[in-house]
Structure 1
Amino acid sequence: MAAASLLRSEDQFLCSICQDVFTDPVAIPCGHNFCKPCISKHWDNNENYQCPMCKKAFDPRPELYVNTLISEMVTQFRREAQHEPNIYSSDQQAAKPGEVPCDDCTEPKLKALKSCLLCLTSYCQTHLEPHLTLSGLKRHQLILPVENLEDRMCRKHDKPLELFCKTDHTCICHHCSYSDHKSHDVTPLKEEHEEQKAELKKTEAEIQQMIQERLLKIQEIQQSVEHSKNAADRETAEGVEVFTALMESVQRSLDQFKEKIQEKQRTTEKQAEDFIKELEQEIWELKKRSTEVEQLSGCEDHLHFVQRFKCVKAAPSMKTWTEVSVHPPSYVGTVVRAVSELEDKLTEEKKKVGGAELKRVQQYEVDLTLDPDTAHPDLILSDDGKQVHDSDETKNLPDTPQRFSDCCSILAKQSFSSGRFYFEVQVKGKTEWDLGVVRESINRKGDLTATPQNGFWTICLRNENEYEACADPPVRLSVKSGPQKVGVFVDYEEGLVSFYDTDFSLLIYSFIGCCFNDKLLPFFCPCYNDEGKNSSPLIITPGGSCGLEEWGVGWSVGL
């Protein structure tokens, strides 16, 4: 019955403008009562100051004062409504640390279930009941319990922050919209919430997409690591197989070398042993004769002495040992010959290893074309852009920044800033040349010093048979026979530039630990014609097969 009484009396305390229980009730001269914020806003939005109910006009605008009697009655009404028993209540718990307590509870304060944005109060289930049953309070906006509800009030006007100023990107109250933000783009906080919520969903979708991209990148990196591990295991297995075979080969060569030495020594010992046996036999026979001579010397029987003398005096047939000797075998050059034979065998195996490596790098072959805009004025290019040689005649070409002015060189059109690439160049018939890769930013004017510090990773031929790696200082290269075709392989991330003699599948030289930090371009220098001695062109050719099955070399070192 108490609840019914409250519901019947609720209409007495409703503002006809907001249809809610009075907030700061005021009475205007005609006697009608309104919430002070409601009637103030109504008059702010109209030129005439009329009563919303009876339409009576006032001039000037009446001063508004809170009706203390009605205000006290409203306060009492709310207090009675809040203390009505809750027929839907269940066991409630006291607020724990970190939980929002009910503002209307006496100690101990119960845990709040909702906070009212209009009342700026948090309620437990019991004190929340009026907001669930009274029609005026039902229109209040309830949210999950939050602390510091005063932060939701405008500090200037002490009113709820119900609007959003898009111009200043801040929350404001209704009074702010008529004063500081009068000409700004203002929207209800609910609409801005919905708009930002939609943007938040879009942001969440973007975040989820970024997460998926990063998960895919992690998967890609993990796969790269797995591929690297597989490659490392494969390379290790092949290396172990090769080195095991090489060590076995070296051991066999050592065993054969020792066997040859020991065979010579056995032969010498056998010869000496035969000589000694023969000498010992002759010594025995001589001792026997010496005994017969000694016995005959003491014989006084003249007849017997004369009869035996001839037999005893006759010398047995024996070898003349003056020229006989045992000569120790000569070992001069034995070690050198053995090492030379081993070196030849190791060279063959090195060729096998080089062939397998060359086969691998050739899979990164790229199609290059020479760039005429970079060519020194003396150079002549083929129509297909694959060949270049010096003409000994300087053409009249524009001296553009990309053109070499003094160095008889040219670059490829293609540039590389990541990954791996490989190309082959025929150098047959030339007495001088330079090949390799350079940074795009190298100096192309005047005399050039080709070193890695200056952005050059190249090797060169001078005087027909002098090969050098253009390092600082230069490195003389041991090249047994002049290569007819040179392969160039670059691993940008690894910082590696390698040069190969493709005919013999041999590594000529490698720059390692390089720091590129720029685009790389293939570099070609056919050098000057030298009165026809160096007239052969540099020719970019397709990579050839090194005669080994794809990725497979059998490491059976049969030495």
Structure 2
Amino acid sequence: MAAAAAAAAAANLGEDQFLCSICLEVFTDPVSTPCGHNFCKNCISTHWDNSVLFKCPLCNEVFNTRPQMKINTMISEMAAQFRCQEKPVSEKPGEVLCDVCTGTKVKAVKSCLVCVASYCETHLEHHLTAPRLRRHQLIDPVENLEDRMCTKHDKLLELFCKTDQTCVCLVCPALDHRDHQFVPLKEEYEEKKVELKTTGAEVQKMIQERRVKIEEIRGAVKVSQDEADREMAAGVQVFTALKESVDRGLNQFIKEVEDKKTAAEKQAEDVIRELEEEISELKKKSTEVEKLSLSEDHLHLLQNYPSLKEAPPTKDWTEVRVCPPSYEGTVVRAVDHLEETLRQQ
């Protein structure tokens, strides 16, 4: 039932639904990330092996720990069904399929260089029995037979022209490559194989050098991050202390100004209160004087006159001043003190 459901689902979906976004091939052992995206198990494992962070290559969601990946059975079955629908393949890599078979392809046993086709054991029978076909050149099955034939002479490419660095047939030396140097394909193959081995070693060396450089750069980034963290911590500590010093300096400045203002106000209030008390005494004296001056009793006026003829004792206010306090230099002194504190810290 599951296989049938997978086949039905695969039939309704396009190729893009079954492609791994890393290798761009149909899924092999597909696994799902916690964010819901699918990749080949080997692709995502290799991707995370070479990454600092464990994040999804599609949506970039970062995972705190490396997720434990399990094969998505449903996607795996659908991908397998899709492969079967798209292209019949042999069970073993490198096997060539018969070009004549319809439906399910059967493994080819020979390729014909004349017919430029590959045949299974059943369809090869005519080449083994028919007189005309028995003259055809048969070889072990190979893919892309057209690429093995000379496009000019329809002959098998069996030689290598070292002068033109190209594969040629047995007719080419006499017609198109006169006076050129030729060697059998196998000889050139062995030579090129040695060269490829050397090239492969050089490439691997280059890969290793670049991996070392990557680790070197990552190390430099780590050192930079560590230094940045230390500098950040030191900076926060220093600027926090500076801020506290500034706050203390501001509070001291405000207190000094407030104290001066409060002292000036208190002095003024004391003087005003004393003046108001004298005014009150003088008003009482004025009332008594006015009252006595209006009296028609001769005896009463003369008897009280000595006590009222002189003004009551008062303070000489001529030189009394209430000067506002000087705030000049308060800010400068506060800033100077703050600068000294900051310099010490």
TM-score (norm 2): 0.59
Aligned: 1:280 with 2:297: no
Q: Which residue of 1 aligns with 2:22?
A: none
- Contact kept in structure 1, 2:109 and 2:141, CA below 8 Å: yes
Structure 2 CA distance for partners of 1:281 and 1:129, relative to 1, 3 Å: farther
Which residue pairs with 1:116 in the alignment? 111
Which of 144, 147, 154 is the aligned partner of 2:150?
154
Instruction: Name the one with the larger helix percent.
Output: 2
2:249 matched to 1:253?
A: yes
Q: RMSD across aligned C-alpha pairs, in angstroms?
A: 3.8
- Indicate which of 305, 312, 315 corresponds to 2:308: 312
1:271 Cα deviation from its structure 2 partner: 0.6
For the 8 Å contact 1:101–1:109, the answer to whether it is kept is no
Which of 187, 190, 210 is the equivalent residue of 2:186?
190
1:206 corresponding residue in structure 2: 202
The answer to whether the 8 Å contact 1:166/1:186 transfers is yes
Q: What is the aligned counterpart of 1:334 among 330, 334, 339?
A: 330
Equivalent residues of 2:88, 2:105 under 8 A apart: no
Greater displacement, 261-270 / 195-204:
195-204
Shift of the 98–237 alpha-carbon distance from structure 1 to 2, 3 Å rule, reads: same
Please report how far the alpha carbon of residue 121 of structure 1 lies from its aligned counterpart in structure 2 after TM superposition.
Answer: 3.2
> What residue identity is the alignment partner of 1:283?
I
Structure 1 CA distance, aligned partners of 2:127 and 2:340?
101
Contact 1:293 1:312 in 2 (8 A): yes
Residues 197-216 of structure 1 deviation map (CA, whole Å, 9 limit, x = unaligned): 23223322322332232233
Q: Deviations over 1:1-28 (max 9, x none)?
A: xxxxxxxxxxxxxxxxxxxxxxxxxxxx
CA distance in 1 between counterparts of 2:87 and 2:310 reads: 140
Amino acid at match of 1:142: D
Which of residues 235, 245, 267 is equivalent to 1:239? 235
What are the equivalent positions in structure 2 for 1:50-449 lying under 5 Å apart? 96=87, 102-103=98-99, 105=100, 110-111=105-106, 113=108, 116=111, 120-127=116-123, 141-144=139-142, 146-147=143-144, 149-177=145-173, 184-346=180-342, 348=343
Deviations 1:205-237 (A, max 9, x none): 322332232233233333333333333333333
> Do the aligned partners of 1:95 and 1:111 also contact (CA within 8 Å) in 2?
no
Map Cα deviations across residues 415-448 of structure 1 (whole Å, 9 max, x no partner). Answer: xxxxxxxxxxxxxxxxxxxxxxxxxxxxxxxxxx
Alpha-carbon shift at residue 111 of structure 1 (Å): 5.0
Q: Secondary structure at the match of 1:320?
A: coil
Q: Could you say if the C-alpha distance between residues 109 and 192 of structure 1 is closer, same or farther in structure 2, counting changes exceeding 3 Å?
A: farther
Q: Which has the higher strand share?
A: 1
Listed one character per residue, the Cα deviations across residues 96-142 of structure 1 (whole Å, up to 9, x for unaligned) are 48997635x3766945535537554311243358999xxx99x9641
**3-state SS of 2:123 partner:** helix
Equivalenced residues, count: 250
Q: Distance in 1 between matches of 2:179 and 2:249?
A: 99
Structure 1 segments unaligned to the other structure (5+ residues): 1-92, 350-556
Q: What amino acid maps onto 2:123 in structure 1?
A: H
Distance in 2 between residues matched to 1:208 and 1:141, nearest whole Å? 36
- Aligned-residue offset at 1:316: 3.1
Letter in 1 for 2:246: V
Secondary structure of 1:326 counterpart: coil
Q: Is the 8 A contact 2:160 2:168 kept in 1?
A: yes
* Compared CA separation, residues 178 and 277, structure 1 to 2 (3 A): same
Task: State TM-score, norm by structure 1.
Answer: 0.38
Identity among equivalent pairs (%):
55
Q: Deviations over 1:456-493 (max 9, x none)?
A: xxxxxxxxxxxxxxxxxxxxxxxxxxxxxxxxxxxxxx
Q: What is the one-letter code of the residue matched to 1:113?
A: A
Q: Would the alpha carbon gap of residues 295 and 108 (structure 1) be closer, same or farther in structure 2, given more than 3 Å must change?
A: closer
Q: 1:343 to 1:96 in 2, by over 3 A?
A: closer
- Measured after TM superposition, the shift of residue 274 of structure 1 is 0.7
